[in-house]
Amino acid sequence: MTDKPNPGDRIAKVLSRAGIASRRGAETLILEGRVKVNGRTIVSPALNVTSKDTITVNDEPVGPADISRLWRYNKPLGLVTSTKEGRGNVFDTLPKNMPRVMSVGRLDINSEGLLLLTNDGALKRSLELPSTGWLRKYRVRVRGYPTEKTLLPLIKGITLGNERFQPMEVVLDRQQGANAWLTIGIREGKNREIRRAIEEIGFQVNRLIRIGYGPFRLLDLKPGEVEEIKQKVIRDQIGEFTGEIKPKEKDNSEKLDSKEKKKI
């Protein structure tokens, strides 16, 4: 006779779906002794819970998971996407009536443009996974005079030390004085990936704007503005989210359209 599997979901997944933290962040809360189930502090994330269990974090009750929601946010320069750095962060600039949200991936302090926000930690994790395959698209201004030949290593994929960068989609759009504008698409989003890769081929990035993340685009969103993505659009792009996704991507290999080029 085999033991029946425990019903319900892992506690970290439940906390993540409720918008408390990412799964990893939820596991940290548990290990710090800040999570209770039915009045008892738990010390391990290896616990399944159901809707019948009472869960608290820092002695505050955890409500049921809200519907998974997404927002587009145009991150200005000078803000970070982490609350741990002691500097101005994007979350302090959001409307007061927004629920607690997390960023899907990050943009460093010197980068700007599209940042997706969500109230669902599990959705955040799924959208960030390289296996999801969503293209992150950027407009990149570099100092110098790159050519198709000098950009070829980025298209083929390069190695920096022990780190391999996957092939990028690179288009040389125009030369503007001593600077050139590129459109670059990546699928992994490693730490400062584009800046480091550009430096490796002898140029320097002096402006970096994310204009697309999978099927979602920056479009006319002004710096600092945030706009919720309609549920119908979310369903069309990722379906009904149930904890894991394999999104379908639409029209993400296209070149930057003329309307967006004129804006920059």
Q: How many distinct helices (H) and strands (E) make up the chain? A: 7, 17
Active site residue 173: no
Residues 42-92 pLDDT 10s: 989 889 998 889 999 999 998 877 788 999 999 999 999 877 656 788 999
For residue 6, the model assigns a pLDDT of 55
All domains in the chain, ordered by first residue: 9-61 (3.10.290.10), 70-131+221-238 (3.30.70.580), 133-214+256-263 (3.30.70.1560)
For residue 14, the model assigns a pLDDT of 87
> Which one-letter amino acid corresponds to residue 47?
L
- C-alpha distance across the termini of the chain, in Å: 67
Residues 103-162 pLDDT 10s: 998 899 999 999 999 988 888 888 888 777 789 999 999 999 999 999 999 999 999 888
Packing angle between helix 193-200 and helix 148-156, nearest 10 degrees? Answer: 130
In 83-230, alpha helices (H) = 121-128, 148-156, 193-200
- Rounded to whole angstroms, the Cα distance separating 32 from 180 reads 49
- Rounded to whole angstroms, the Cα distance separating 164 from 60 reads 44
pTM listed for this prediction: 0.76
Better-scored residue on pLDDT, 16 or 95: 95
- Rounded to whole angstroms, the Cα distance separating 112 from 140 reads 11
Q: How many residues does the chain have?
A: 264
Set 108, 120, 173, 251: catalytic member: 108
